[in-house]
């Protein structure tokens, strides 16, 4: 059993000692310290963080031309700070680290993900306690804050370690974005949609990524504006992607996407329009198009972007089977398209039956994709056992690559077979 409280106290004590030593040396007032650089790879490692600190004087000396104060700037990136320590490298952390790795990796992805979340909470608590401990120290600035920094968690994770007042004092850029979002949310939906459509190609403030997420979830009132961008903007791919992922299968959308999939000058635009039509299941039209449009559209529902859509994808090989049956000359292109998305498969309970069916397909591209999809330690117990049995059978497949992928899957899944057997 992992002793999370002991880990929290150990992180606090090690960081406190490092920070106290630095302050005793009389450096200029520190504005921030941070736990950071916690490398995490699902099913493999969940590493303990490093610890860093910085002063405004050091920041101005090391980066004299830096004016950005946003969370993504060097001011808030501990890897760029002057003082950085491997506080968890000592002997006292060896047992805790061993316990953490054993706890995280004993029962598959769900266990690992739960352990990762608990580690984030634990390090955030240690950071907050450390901030309170040094808040009145003469060697820190009045707004001194200690955070857990991680690009995967970004600002939301850092906010766990600070008070609301500290956030408002230290992060004016993010505060302005938050205030803008709150003001926009009070507008009528049509005005909100127009605002986010106008932000699609922005990198500052509310970014294009933020706008795209909102429009996929809420963007039907922006349909006309998105079609206009699709037809006339110098960068129309975001509009095409949103129209597809938001499920806007209205006739004006379909016609605009079809036209650009054929007539657009830029290949990325044609490709994304074809993909959007695939998301919208315009398969009959796609089947009749040139090979690049047909393959991009028919194979679109297997790519990683599909998981951003308003409706979660469900595995369905039928359109690909139709394409390969009707146009066998496209087999190599389909195989290449599906190979590119092997690592983006996240098979769920809803997909298992189709993946099992895919293993019996006469088309090798489908069998290769299906056998990769069944290599998933995150499946529920009964599905995992069905997948393991299917992978065993697939080791006898006529295709060498299917056999190889099945072997890799069995190697990954077998350690969990006994656990799954016992949980049924």
Please check whether residue 36 lies inside any domain of the structure.
Answer: yes
Confidence check: pLDDT of 206 > 80: yes
Confidence check: pLDDT of 246 > 90: yes
235: domain CATH number is 1.25.40
Tell me what pLDDT residue 352 has: 94
- With contact defined as beta carbons under 8 Å apart, do 83 and 52 qualify? yes
Tell me what pLDDT residue 254 has: 98
Confidence check: pLDDT of 406 > 80: yes
306 with 326, same domain: the answer is no
Tokens of 20: 């106290």
Please check whether residue 77 lies inside any domain of the structure.
Answer: yes
Q: Residue for token digits 């039509």?
A: 277
80-108 average pLDDT score = 90
118 with 160, same domain: the answer is yes
Q: What is the pLDDT of residues 167-195, one digit of tens each?
A: 999 999 999 999 999 999 999 999 999 99
3-state DSSP call for residue 8?
helix
Q: Which segments of 264-399 does DSSP mark as H helices, in order? A: 267-279, 283-287, 291-298, 318-326, 331-339, 349-358, 364-373, 381-394
User: Could you give the CA distance from residue 6 to residue 22 in angstroms, rounded to a whole number?
Assistant: 24
Tell me what pLDDT residue 377 has: 82
Q: What are phi and psi of 57, to 5 degrees?
A: -65, -45
Domain boundary among 292, 313, 334: 313
Overall size of the chain counted in residues: 424
- With contact defined as beta carbons under 8 Å apart, do 122 and 11 qualify? yes
128 with 262, same domain: the answer is no
Specify the number of domains making up the chain.
3
Please check whether residue 377 lies inside any domain of the structure.
Answer: yes
Q: What is the pLDDT of residues 278-287, one digit of tens each?
A: 999 999 999 9
CA Rg, the chain, in Å?
26
Tokens of 255: 């016609």
228 with 79, same domain: the answer is no
Tell me what pLDDT residue 380 has: 86
């Amino acid at each position: 059993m992992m002793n999370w409280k002991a880990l929290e106290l150990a992180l606090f004590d090690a960081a406190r000692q490092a920070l106290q030593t630095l302050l005793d040396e009389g450096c200029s007032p520190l504005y921030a310290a941070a736990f950071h650089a916690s490398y995490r790879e699902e099913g493999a490692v969940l590493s303990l963080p490093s610890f860093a600190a910085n002063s405004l004087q050091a920041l101005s000396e090391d980066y004299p031309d830096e004016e950005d104060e946003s969370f993504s700037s060097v001011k808030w990136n501990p890897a760029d700070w002057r003082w950085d320590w491997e506080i968890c490298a000592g002997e006292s952390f060896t047992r805790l680290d061993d316990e953490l790795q054993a706890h995280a990796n004993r029962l598959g992805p769900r266990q690992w993900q739960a352990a990762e979340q608990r580690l984030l909470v634990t390090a955030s608590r240690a950071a907050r306690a450390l901030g309170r401990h040094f808040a009145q120290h003469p060697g820190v600035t009045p707004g001194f804050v200690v955070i857990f920094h991680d690009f995967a968690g970004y600002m939301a994770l850092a906010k766990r370690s600070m008070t609301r007042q500290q956030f408002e004092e230290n992060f004016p850029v993010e505060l302005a974005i938050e205030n803008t979002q709150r003001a926009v949310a009070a507008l009528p939906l049509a005005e909100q949609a127009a605002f986010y459509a106008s932000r699609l190609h922005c990198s500052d403030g509310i970014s294009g990524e933020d706008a795209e997420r909102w429009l996929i979830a809420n963007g039907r009132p922006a349909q006309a504006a998105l079609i206009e961008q699709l037809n006339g903007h110098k960068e129309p791919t975001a509009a095409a992607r949103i129209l597809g992922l938001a499920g806007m299968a209205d006739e004006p959308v379909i016609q605009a996407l079809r036209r650009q999939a054929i007539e657009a000058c830029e290949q990325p635009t044609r490709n994304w329009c074809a993909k959007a039509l695939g998301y919208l299941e315009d398969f009959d039209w796609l089947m009749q198009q040139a090979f690049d449009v047909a393959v991009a559209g028919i194979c679109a529902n297997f790519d990683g972007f599909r998981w951003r859509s308003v409706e979660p994808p469900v595995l369905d090989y039928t359109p690909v089977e139709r394409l390969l049956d009707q146009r066998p000359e496209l087999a190599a292109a389909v195989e290449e398209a599906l190979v590119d998305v092997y690592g983006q498969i996240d098979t769920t309970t809803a997909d298992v039956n189709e993946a099992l069916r895919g293993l019996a397909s006469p088309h090798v591209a489908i069998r290769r994709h299906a056998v990769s999809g069944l290599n998933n330690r995150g499946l529920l117990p009964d599905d995992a056992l069905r997948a393991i049995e299917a992978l065993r059978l697939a080791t006898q497949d006529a295709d060498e690559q299917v056999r190889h992928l099945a072997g890799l899957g069995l190697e990954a899944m077998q350690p969990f077979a006994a656990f799954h057997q016992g949980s049924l």
